[in-house]
Amino acid sequence: MSAHRLQQLKGHILPGNKITAMAAPSPLTTHVLNTAMGVPGANMGLSLYRQDPSTSAWSLITTGITNADGRCPGLITTEMFTSGVYRLHFETAQYWESMGETCFYPYVEIVFTTNDPGKKYHVPLLLSRFSYSTYRGS
């Protein structure tokens, strides 16, 4: 089975995502990695917002929870993923608290601009209790 097909199937059966049973994988993906422990950041709450260009108000697109691999399939559909400013919000302190630890960052928000929605956007979060990084992948 191809990795692509496996990812599609995982998106159908994993709980916690508002958008399920999609025909095609989300053009926007994330991946949370716990760099302190060397494991995927599993069971972390996150949400995706888009900013209205005229009012600057944010609207919620989806909420989800990362799976055992630290991923969250089904963030957005290709049709909804128009050019604009988006915000990914990660519940980092909640995540560390669930493991009995504190975190310097109550949450992490990554605000990014897409101007070529035909492309794939991969926005990972590499996280420890006292550091984080992100990059634009594909």
104 binds other proteins (CB under 8 A): yes
| Nearer residue to other proteins within complex by CB, 14 or 28 | 28
Is residue 98 at the binding interface for other proteins, with CB under 8 A as the rule? no
Residue 58 is a binding residue for other proteins (CB under 8 A): no
Q: Is 135 in the site for other proteins (CB under 8 A)?
A: yes
Is residue 134 part of the contact set for other proteins (CB under 8 A)? yes
Query: What's the min distance (Å) between Cβ of 101 and other proteins?
Result: 13
> What is the number of other CB atoms lying within 10 angstroms of the CB of residue 80?
16
CB of 85 to other proteins, least distance (A): 6
**Cα(75)–Cα(72) distance, integer angstroms:** 7
Q: Is the dihedral of CA 44, 45, 50, 51 positive or negative?
A: negative
Distance CA 107, CA 18 (A): 21
Q: Which two tokens stand for residue 132?
A: 């984080």
